[in-house]
Amino acid sequence: MATPVLDKVEAESAASPYITVTFRVRRFNPEVSAEATWEDFQLEIDPKERVLDGLHKIKWDIDGTLTFRRSCAHGICGSDAMRINGKNRLACKTLIKDINPEKPITVEPIKGLTVLKDLVVDMEPFFQAYRDVMPFLVTKDTNEPTRERLQSAEDRARFDDTTKCILCAACTSSCPVFWNDGQYFGPAAIVNAHRFIFDSRDEAGEQRLEILNDKDGVWRCRTTFNCTDACPRGIEVTKAIQEVKRALITRRF
């Protein structure tokens, strides 16, 4: 029969979807050179695969010294935020076909934090800002709770958007104010403060607002929306920052 042969030919052509992609990776190794350099890697890869798969191919098959962070590889742990084609994204959520594989794909570490090696940056300033906003439930009731803290669906929906944060630092490291001196709290810390400030069960909202009223708090936000664009979880980061600003103003006036 003619049709099965045709099917087989089609299946064969579909079975080899590989294309050649150039990965242009920003390499930095302080033990070798103080300068960071670009290095190109040619890969045979299915365009439906992710940038992270490409990095794995490089690390496992071409150059084992390539260093980057990743843990779950499914967009939940927030380890592999990096600057791909000049935009902060998670390597594990970016498909090759979505970022024009005809041109070289540039992969850099996120900006504004000290690069330790290749794509690994020192996240400590980022987490310091996160810790500073007290990202945990605070209540005046010091007794051990005997039942769960109930909350209406509306109260829960109030801060639903900001519970999605995975602390990948894509927003904070896309913020031009953070790039300058790193003293600004950064969008991620404000998002996580927002998550508790607007939680009806929490009682330290006032303290958190006072922390974010700082010189380097929410008032340094210039509303450039870089953070909202960068967030791999689709959190409306700039909106959350604006809500914190409004809470500060309505508290005072």
- How far apart are CB 219 and another protein at their closest, in Å? 4
Q: Which of 201/220 has CB closer to another protein?
A: 220
Tokens of 55: 């990095």
Q: Return d(Cα 188, Cα 151) in angstroms, integer.
A: 25
- How far apart are CB 214 and another protein at their closest, in Å? 5
Cβ atoms within 10 Å of 13's Cβ, excluding its own: 9
List beta partners, residue 88. Answer: 83
- How far apart are CB 11 and another protein at their closest, in Å? 53
| Residue ranges that bind another protein, judged by CB under 8 A | 128, 131-132, 176-177, 180-181, 183, 210-211, 213-217, 219-220, 222, 245, 248-249, 252
CA-CA-CA-CA dihedral for 214, 172, 30, 60, to nearest 10: 150
- How far apart are CB 126 and another protein at their closest, in Å? 13
Integer distance in angstroms from the first to the last C-alpha of the chain? Answer: 83
Amino acid at 246: R
- How far apart are CB 180 and another protein at their closest, in Å? 6
Q: Are 138 and 202 in contact, with CB atoms under 8 Å apart?
A: yes
Check the CA dihedral 200-204-207-212 and report its sign. negative
- SS3 call for 39: strand
Q: Return d(Cα 234, Cα 228) in angstroms, integer.
A: 7
Q: Which of 87/179 has CB closer to another protein?
A: 179
Q: Which of 45/129 has CB closer to another protein?
A: 129
Q: Which of 55/189 has CB closer to another protein?
A: 189
- How far apart are CB 245 and another protein at their closest, in Å? 7
Q: Which of 91/133 has CB closer to another protein?
A: 133
Q: Return d(Cα 91, Cα 74) in angstroms, integer.
A: 9
Q: Which of 140/252 has CB closer to another protein?
A: 252
